[in-house]
């Protein structure tokens, strides 16, 4: 029926005065366009059927592997093969007597099918990795590197297949030629090859992207990524200078990517104050009475002293000597206050680690470190909040009869 309509259309063109060769050409192009329309319609029908059948089955089954494959759009990709297969099998029947156009259409269709096949494999491998990672021992035996290698070889074979279509050579011949010229290619195109490999690794591992804030101390890089090329990555530093570094350096050298921090909208605060060792002492009753008036640690002082008194009584400790038994210290109370302070601070995140710790004493005093995450990744706001926190800490240190260590010594007894 289709052929009869096509012949009738050609005869009509000849009757209205169109030359026979021109009529044949118009007929062929029209037939090919109709086939393209049919192929697109077939794609949407196939896609609709897959959604109606496969998606419904996936929702009803208790297994989640089929749900993952649906989420990765594996079946959608399969439906995209349909229009390519229809066009490929009808080219010779529609574009009769037009060898040049047939070859062009065949090559274009084969390239389209190759791209879709690669997409199917990539999405299936992504789904397989997600399914595997749900296993109990997936963390001990990760398969990401295996998946990446498979993706690389699939991509490489697809590229060779596409090149063979353009050059009218067999893929085997191209692979053989690549083996013979690989040594020269490695020498001549060393930087592009390394850049290409580095770019693939960066992409597959999602290590860096446009707009990410990265820091590469060894290269003087600290800013936002503006461009990722084949051989270089362009970064705009915060001092507005532009730095270009080889792409492969992001694989071989250590660098920091602050994107997770920006996505979570938090930023770590990790800063210490150095306490002068000579100002550390046991707390007297008068000290404890003074500290118990601090709202944030009132309950802590009471409960801690009760615990200490019960311990000393149980052990029959001679408390006339301060060195015996357990006692509260001013630096211990200070740490308790800082812990309560950061736990109650509105700008400090409640979802991440918050702690105050005493570090190894040094020649410059005893470091007391505040470790927490501020609820913003905006640099200016972060610095303002951090400064406010430590303004407060520096101001209340003398209340606990403690002193900051300063060099040269800025404190003398009797002052």
Structure tokens at 209: 């992207």
**Beta partners for 257?**
214
Q: Report the C-alpha gap between 54 and 264 in whole angstroms.
A: 36
Report the pLDDT averaged over residues 80-100. Answer: 71
pLDDT band at 415 (very low <50, low <70, confident <90, very high): very low
Q: Work out the pLDDT band at 392, boundaries 50, 70, 90.
A: very high
Take residue 120 and report the two structure tokens written for it.
């199917």
Q: Would the pLDDT of 29 be above 60? A: yes
Picking from 328, 345, 343, 344, the residue whose alpha carbon sits closest to that of residue 401 is: 328
Give yes or no for a contact between 272 and 392, defined as CB atoms under 8 angstroms apart: no
- The token duo for 348 is 């400090």
Q: How far apart are CA 127 and CA 206, in angstroms?
A: 17
Which one is predicted more confidently, 15 or 265?
A: 265
The strand pairing partners of 199, in sequence order, are none
Q: What is the pLDDT of the chain when averaged over all its residues? A: 80
- Type and span of the H or E element at 66: helix 65-71
249 or 185, greater pLDDT: 249
Region for 61 from its dihedrals, namely left if φ exceeds 0, alpha if ψ lies in -120 to 50, beta otherwise: beta
180 by Cβ neighbours in 10 Å (0-12 / 13-18 / 19+) ranks as: exposed
Secondary structure class of 373 (helix, strand, coil): strand
Return the minimum-mean-pLDDT range out of 117-131, 150-164, 280-294, 376-390.
Answer: 150-164
Flag the least confident range among 49-53, 55-59, 69-73, 385-389. Answer: 55-59
Measured distance CA(132)–CA(278) in Å, rounded = 58
Confidence of residue 176 (pLDDT cuts 50, 70, 90): low
Per the model's pLDDT, the better-predicted residue between 46 and 182 turns out to be 46
pLDDT band at 56 (very low <50, low <70, confident <90, very high): confident
Q: Is the distance from CB of 62 to CB of 3 less than 8 angstroms?
A: no
pTM, whole model, 2 decimals?
0.57
Q: In terms of Cα–Cα distance, which of 215, 261, 148 is closest to 233? A: 215
Mean pLDDT for 379-401 is 95
Give the C-alpha separation, 102 to 107, whole Å. 9
Task: Give rounded-to-5 percent helix, strand, coil for the chain.
Answer: 60, 15, 25
From residue 158, give the alpha-carbon distance in Å to each of 53, 83, 165.
31, 19, 11
> Which pLDDT does position 183 carry in this prediction?
61
Kindly state the average pLDDT of the residues 212-239: 86
% of the chain exceeding 70 in pLDDT:
76
| pLDDT at residue 211, rounded to an integer | 84
What pLDDT is recorded for position 145?
60
CA separation for the pair 22, 27 (Å, rounded) = 8
What was the pLDDT predicted at 68? 76
Output the six-digit token pair for 258. 């602050």
Residue 38 is predicted with a pLDDT of 77
Distance CA 250, CA 198 (A): 8
For the chain, what's the residue count?
Answer: 415
Percent of the chain whose predicted confidence (pLDDT) is above 90: 33
Q: What is the pLDDT of residue 88?
A: 77
The per-residue pLDDT for range 330-357, each reduced to its tens digit, is 999 999 999 999 999 999 999 999 999 9
Of the candidates 295, 321, 326, the residue with the CA atom closest to the CA atom of residue 309: 326
Spell out the residues 6+ positions from residue 122 whose beta carbon is closer than 8 angstroms to its own.
Answer: 151, 154
Greater model confidence, 117 or 271: 271
For residue 119, is pLDDT > 70? yes
Name the least confident of 18-27, 200-209, 387-396.
Answer: 18-27
Give me the pLDDT at residue 26, please. Answer: 57
Q: What is the pLDDT of residues 285-330, one digit of tens each?
A: 999 999 999 999 999 999 999 999 999 999 888 888 888 889 999 9
**396 — pLDDT class (breaks 50, 70, 90):** very high
Residue 400 DSSP class:
G
The lowest-confidence range among 2-16, 41-55, 169-183, 267-281 is 2-16
Give the H/E segment covering residue 336. helix 330-344
- Residue 268 scores a pLDDT above 60: yes
- How confident is residue 409, by pLDDT bands cut at 50, 70 and 90? low
């Amino acid at each position: 029926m289709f052929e009869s309509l096509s012949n009738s259309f050609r005869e009509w063109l000849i009757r209205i005065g169109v030359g026979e060769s021109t009529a044949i050409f118009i007929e062929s192009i029209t037939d090919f366009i109709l086939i393209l329309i049919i192929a697109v319609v077939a794609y949407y029908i196939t896609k609709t059927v897959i959604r109606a059948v496969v998606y419904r089955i996936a929702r009803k089954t208790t297994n989640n592997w089929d749900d993952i494959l649906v989420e990765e759009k594996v079946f959608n990709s399969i439906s995209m093969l349909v229009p390519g297969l229809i066009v490929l099998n009808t080219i010779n029947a529609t574009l009769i007597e037009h060898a040049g156009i047939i070859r062009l259409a065949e090559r274009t269709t084969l390239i389209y099918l190759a791209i879709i096949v690669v997409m199917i494999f990539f999405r299936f491998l992504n789904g397989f990795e997600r399914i595997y990672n749900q296993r109990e021992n997936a963390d001990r035996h990760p398969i990401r590197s295996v998946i990446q290698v498979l993706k690389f070889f699939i991509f490489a074979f697809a590229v060779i297949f596409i090149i063979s279509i353009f050059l009218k050579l067999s893929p085997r011949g191209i692979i053989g030629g690549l083996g013979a010229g690989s040594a020269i290619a490695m020498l001549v195109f060393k930087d592009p090859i390394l850049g290409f490999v580095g770019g693939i690794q960066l992409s597959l591992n999602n290590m860096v992207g446009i707009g990410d804030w990265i820091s590469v101390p060894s290269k003087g890089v600290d800013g936002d990524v503006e461009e990722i090329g084949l051989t270089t990555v362009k970064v705009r530093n915060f001092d507005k200078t532009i730095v270009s570094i080889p792409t492969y350096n992001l694989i071989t050298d250590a660098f920091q990517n602050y994107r997770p921090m920006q996505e979570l909208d938090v930023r770590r605060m990790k800063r210490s104050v150095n306490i002068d060792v000579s100002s550390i002492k046991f707390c007297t009753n008068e000290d404890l009475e003074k500290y118990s008036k601090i709202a944030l640690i009132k309950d802590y002082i009471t409960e801690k002293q009760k615990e200490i008194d019960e311990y000393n009584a149980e052990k029959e400790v001679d408390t006339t000597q301060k060195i015996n038994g357990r006692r509260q210290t001013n630096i211990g109370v200070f740490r308790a206050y800082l812990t309560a302070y950061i736990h109650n601070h509105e700008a400090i995140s409640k979802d991440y680690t918050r702690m105050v710790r005493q570090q190894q004493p040094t020649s410059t005093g005893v470091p007391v470190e505040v470790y927490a995450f501020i609820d913003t990744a905006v640099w200016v706001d972060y610095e303002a909040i951090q400064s406010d926190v430590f303004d407060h800490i520096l101001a209340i240190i003398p209340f606990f009869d403690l002193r900051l260590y300063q060099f040269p010594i800025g404190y003398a007894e009797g002052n």
